[in-house]
Chains A and B, each alone.
Chain A
């Protein structure tokens, strides 16, 4: 299911390089990171958060973390997901108001979790619920923000290490 390992690919871990050697002892962690990516970016059961939305939000969060190559990766995933005919069905006029209210609440929460998670309070969860987002979807979205922020930091750390080896 996975195309190789996204983290190692974006870091540019060279075959037989010193970094590849160090990562040999952490193969399990790299594999579980990729399995987490699959479970969060393109889950079998996406609930109310589509693969396209996940890719779009992930690209936004990567950019807020100044990781352009990760943002590009997610924008490519977004294009793939959009090419899926199931996802290009039009939204009815009566649904648009709710749709934008929901998206605004989601984007606001993802921004908070990425930039200043320390400022999050119960009121932020209440705001999501008021916008009609279900509790399972709030957990899915939180995992998405948390995962992308993990991935950004692993890539940043490994890249800087690679640069001096």
Chain B
């Protein structure tokens, strides 16, 4: 018995694909290579098995995603997650928001910021530093992106360096990518008790 999860939550749902995942037993060497790039390859998730239908792009996207979210220096891990959350709220990717909201909570050892965002969406009111970062990621996630030079100035006013601003752009943009796969090729479900 499964139920689709429509509301933002930090309780991790299961991702249920609309597309038939590639069968591991039938995967080509190229598909294998593309899937191996992901960090935990003990069991391959349905998400990766769906993306393995296009191994050429998967082989590049996984290391790109990891470099953007976990690379050294620059913007803190938590603030990259906040960029990811901003994009996921605009694009309403409930699954992505759950994963990255939880990571943000773990990294910051708090739940307040994510609770407010999940409750009030793009109009959430946060402390100044988080507000500026969140608002930037929301604006960059619009179609077309609605950021201006003033928004960059605002980031500089909270003392983000050039590299940190680059990292915020990247972590938001990569979720413009991830959300468009995760939210459109499957849905979050929870297994009812």
- The segment from B47-55, B112-120, B123-131 found at the interface with A is B47-55
> Which A residues from 119 to 165 make CB contacts under 8 A with B?
120-122, 124-126, 135-136, 138-140, 142-143, 145-147, 149-154, 156-158, 160-161, 163-165
Stretch of A29-37, A74-82, A85-93 at the chain-chain interface: A29-37
Do A158 and B169 touch (CB < 8 A)? yes
Contact B73 A120 (CB under 8 A): no
Compute how far the CA of A141 lies from the CA of B179 in the bound complex, rounded to whole angstroms.
Answer: 14
A165 to B162, CA, bound (A): 9
Contact of B143 among A18, A64, A120, A125 (CB under 8 A): A64
Interface residues as binary, B169-183 with A (CB distance below 8 Å gives 1, 0 otherwise): 110111011111101
**Chain A interface residue count: which class?**
35 or more
List of A residues within 8 angstroms of B64 by Cβ: 29, 32-33, 35-36
Whether the Cβ atoms of B181 and A143 lie closer than 8 Å is: yes
Q: What's the minimum C-beta distance from B91 to chain A, rounded to whole angstroms?
A: 5
Given contact pairs A18-B162, A153-B176, A25 touches B74 in the complex (Cβ within 8 A): yes
CB distance from B139 to the nearest CB of A (A): 10
Q: Given A118-B92, A160-B151, is A153 in contact with B19 using a C-beta cutoff of 8 Å? A: no
Instruction: Assess A22 versus B57: contact at CB under 8 Å? Given A153-B176, A154-B169.
Output: no
Number of A-B contacts (CB under 8 A): 175
Within 8 A of A (CB), among B143-186: 143-145, 147-149, 151-153, 156, 161-163, 165-170, 172-174, 176-181, 183-185
CA distance A158 to B173 in the complex (A): 11
Q: Are the C-beta atoms of A117 and B177 separated by less than 8 Å?
A: no
A40: which B residues are within 8 A, CB to CB? 56-57
> Cβ of B176 and Cβ of A149 under 8 Å apart?
yes
Q: How near does chain B come to A111, taking the closest CB pair, in angstroms?
A: 10
Check B67 for interface membership: any CB of A closer than 8 A.
yes
Quote the shortest CB–CB distance from B38 to chain A (angstroms): 14
B163 touches A25 (CB 8 A): yes
A40 to B, closest residue via Cβ: B57
| B149 in contact with A149 (CB, 8 Å) | no
List A contacts of B183 (CB < 8 A): 117-118, 120
| A157 pairs with B180, CB closer than 8 A | no
Point out the residues of chain A lying under 8 angstroms from B74, CB to CB. 25-26
Provide 6 A-B residue pairs closer than 8 Å at the C-beta atoms, listed in order of the A residue: A22-B165, A36-B57, A117-B92, A135-B53, A149-B180, A154-B173
Residues on B facing A (Cβ under 8 Å): 18-20, 50-51, 53-54, 56-57, 59-61, 63-64, 67-68, 71, 73-74, 90-93, 140-141, 143-145, 147-149, 151-153, 156, 161-163, 165-170, 172-174, 176-181, 183-185, 187
Q: Which 5 residue pairs spanning A and B have beta carbons closest together? A: A157-B169, A118-B92, A153-B173, A66-B144, A146-B180
Give A contacts to B, CB under 8 Å.
18-19, 21-23, 25-26, 28-29, 32-33, 35-36, 38-40, 43-45, 47, 64-67, 113-118, 120-122, 124-126, 135-136, 138-140, 142-143, 145-147, 149-154, 156-158, 160-161, 163-165
